[in-house]
Amino acid sequence: MRYPGTSTPVWAAAALAVTLLSSGGCNKHVDNTSHFTDAINSYYTAHPVCLWDASVKFPVQADTSDASKTSGYDALVDQGLLARTTAEKKVMIVASKQVNNYDISEKGRGAWVPDVDQPGFGNFCYGHRKVTSIDGSTPTSDERGATTQVTYHYTVADAPAWATAEETQNAYPQIRQNLGGPHTGTAVLIETNEGWKVGRTAASAPPATPAQ
């Protein structure tokens, strides 16, 4: 059977219509939720949440008369990450003051993350982001080099005992906030030959500030 005025059989036209509908349906939407989740989780496995917003170097010294300078370090002493000794420091020829010296303990070495760009510097890190939901993304294509901005919710996973201790969280309230979650985050992802990769991120909350 043919359409009037054409030479195309009905069966051929129907097959073409089905093909076009099928291909259009495949290209209309690709659910990349799991790929986005894997990319963000993989990135933050290598970029953990740390105690201070910048790498620090030990040993450090703090005046015992100022609790604001010692309380954070003392909390880490209580958790076994730092070792504390006391000393007298001369401030004038005939005067001196008591100070605490803090250094990384043997136990602390296991939790210490060295800064590869600054020898001798590092940080105590206490977990990493884990995506709980992908909330949205900008339109993208399947072309290599394509980018998309992803919004998501996350929690901070795998926190060690020293970070969940009340004394530590009292000294560093940001830890309590970070572990309290869930939080929102955004990331720009890039489609590479190895799949989606994080190209740029935006933090929803700043890290804890140093005690010194």
Give pLDDT tens digits along the chain (212 positions).
544 555 545 444 444 444 444 444 444 457 899 999 999 999 999 999 999 999 999 999 999 988 889 999 999 999 999 999 998 776 655 567 889 999 999 999 999 999 999 999 999 999 999 999 999 999 877 677 889 999 999 999 999 999 999 999 999 999 999 999 899 999 999 999 999 999 877 654 444 444 33
In a domain? residue 210: no
The pTM score is 0.74
Give me 146's structure tokens: 């394509």
In a domain? residue 136: yes
- Paired with 93 in beta bridges are none
Report d(CA 37, CA 122) in Å as an integer: 28
In a domain? residue 128: yes
In a domain? residue 208: no
| Three-class SS state of 125 | strand
For residue 177, give its domain range.
30-202
In a domain? residue 170: yes
Amino acid at residue number 3? Y
In a domain? residue 211: no
Total number of domains constituting the chain? 1
In a domain? residue 22: no
- Beta-carbon contacts of residue 190 (< 8 Å; ≥ 6 apart): 145, 146, 147, 196, 197, 198, 199
